[in-house]
Amino acid sequence: MNDQQLFELMESKLYAAVISDTLDELGHRNQVMRENINPIVKDWVVAGRAKTILSVDVHYVPEDPYAKEIEAVDSVKPNEVVIGCTNESKQNGLWGELLSTASKMRGARGAIVDGLIRDTQKIEELGFPVFATGTKPVDSQGRGLVIDYDIPVLCGGVMVHPGDVIFGDRDGIVVIPQALVDEVFQRAMDKVTRENHTRDELLQGRTLREVYDKYGVL
C-alpha cells in the first residue's frame, strides 16, 4: 500500500480517538495536540506525512520577509500535511489562501497551524483542510518570520518530526511516530471493527458489560 492509498483509507475508516487509543496501548500517551487547534470546517479530516515549518515572532520588516516561507512551501511533496509551528503566536497570521493554494497544487493534503490564519472563506472554497487556533486578518510580514523547515518542531504540545503521520478530525490532531505507522494503522483498523460490533450489539439491547467482556473496547 502506498502513502496515498494509506491516507485515503485512514481518512475514510479511522478517527482521531481510535488512533489516540491505539497509541496509548503502545505506551505513547502524549501524541495528541492541544485542544485549541481545530478545523475551520468542522467535517474536514486529514491524514498525511508531516512537512514541518518553523516561524518565530518578529517586530521589524526583514529585507526579504517571505524568502524561507516561499522556499518551504515550494518544497512540499505529495501526501504531506504542512505543520506550521508559530510557537502559539497571537500576532502572526502565518497561513492563508495563497499558501493553501500553492500547497494543494504541490500535492499537500492539508495544513495544521498552532496559531492564527486568515482567508478562511477562500480556503473553505478551495477545499483544502486547514486546522488552526483561530483567525486574524493580518499579514505575517513584520510580525512573523519562517526561519527553517523539515526539522523537528513542537506543535500543539507534541514533538513532530518530518515524516511522522498526522491525523486530524473534529476531535483533534494525533501525531503517529514514523516507526509506528504500520502497527498503529493495523491495530486501529482492528479496534474500529470491534467498536462497530460493540455498537451493533448495544443497539440490540445487550448490556455494556456483556459487549465489553466480548470485544474489549469502550
Residue 174 sits at the vertex; the CA angle it makes with 160 and 97, to the nearest 5 degrees, is 75
Under 8 Å CB-to-CB from 199, ≥6 apart: which residues? none
d(CA 45, CA 92): 25
- Residue 187 corresponds to which cell in the numbers above? 491495530
How many residues appear in the chain? 218
| Nearest of 115, 114, 132 to residue 123 by alpha carbon | 132
- Residue 144 corresponds to which cell in the numbers above? 512573523
Residue 97 is assigned to a ligand binding site: yes
d(CA 71, CA 76): 9
Residue 98 is assigned to a ligand binding site: yes
Count CB neighbours of 74 within 10 A: 10
Residue 165 identity = V
Residue 203 is assigned to a ligand binding site: no
Residue 99 is assigned to a ligand binding site: yes
Residues marked as binding for Mg(2+)?
A: 119
Binding positions: 96-99, 118-119
Binding-site residues for substrate: 96-99, 118
